[in-house]
């Protein structure tokens, strides 16, 4: 197994550890969860870079890399629900969009077509990661400075909903635009 594929599998392991630390009441658990999420996100970039650079693109990587990405993001989003960072409906919208686009890509693959990622989808992913990192950073800051600090509450209550709004709008818009662009596959 080549290095990019090992990094992809490592991202899945980091996701399991991330969820464990974020969902248990361990001392500094939120800080460790933040570090693990950042490390997993770096492996996402690194495995693709190395696969292209070392000419080690494989069918395993083509399948597992986007799957590992979706598992990481969905895990983070789901874990943020009980922590009252994200409402459940937001997570449902985001995950539903991912299922729809994945289904469309499978439909295209069945017809011998490959649907590349759309630039708008990359912006959507960036905003999802920014929103997740924002809340993870606030949770980690709560571990360091106490959950009741005024500035922490301000960011949680005032800035958080703005990031969530941008993320949801981009998620819906990019999904609809991608479906519209590839509507001929649905006929």
The whole-model pTM stands at: 0.91
Nearest to 159 by CA among 143, 141, 177: 141
Binning pLDDT at 50, 70 and 90, where does residue 151 land? Answer: confident
DSSP string, 119-152: HHHHHHHHHHHHHHHHHHHHHHHHHHH-TT-HHH
Binning pLDDT at 50, 70 and 90, where does residue 9 land? Answer: very high
pLDDT in the model for residue 109: 84
Q: Are 49 and 56 in contact (CB under 8 A)?
A: no
Nearest to 50 by CA among 92, 8, 78, 21: 8
Binning pLDDT at 50, 70 and 90, where does residue 29 land? Answer: very high
Q: Are 95 and 171 in contact (CB under 8 A)?
A: no
Average pLDDT over residues 37-65: 90
Domains and CATH numbers, the chain: 3-186 (1.20.120.1760)
pLDDT of 147 over the 80 cut: no
Nearest to 101 by CA among 166, 171, 20: 171
Binning pLDDT at 50, 70 and 90, where does residue 35 land? Answer: very high
Arithmetic mean of pLDDT over the chain: 92
């Amino acid at each position: 197994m080549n290095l990019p594929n090992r990094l992809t599998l490592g991202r899945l392991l980091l996701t399991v550890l991330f969820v464990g630390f974020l969902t248990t009441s361990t001392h500094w658990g939120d800080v460790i969860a933040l570090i693990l999420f950042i490390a997993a996100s770096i492996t996402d970039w690194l495995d693709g870079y190395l696969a292209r650079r070392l000419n080690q693109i494989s069918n395993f990587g083509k399948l597992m890399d986007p799957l590992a990405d979706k598992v990481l993001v969905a895990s983070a989003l789901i874990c943020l629900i009980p922590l009252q960072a994200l409402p459940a409906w937001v997570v449902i919208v985001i995950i539903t969009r991912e299922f729809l686009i994945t289904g469309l890509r499978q439909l295209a693959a069945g017809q011998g077509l490959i649907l590349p990622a759309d630039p708008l989808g990359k912006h959507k992913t960036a905003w999802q990661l920014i929103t997740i990192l924002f809340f993870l950073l606030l949770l980690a800051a709560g571990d360091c400075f106490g959950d009741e600090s005024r500035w922490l509450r301000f960011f949680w209550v005032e800035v958080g909903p703005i990031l969530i709004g941008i993320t949801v709008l981009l998620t819906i818009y990019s999904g609809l635009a991608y479906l519209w662009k590839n509507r001929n596959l649905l006929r």
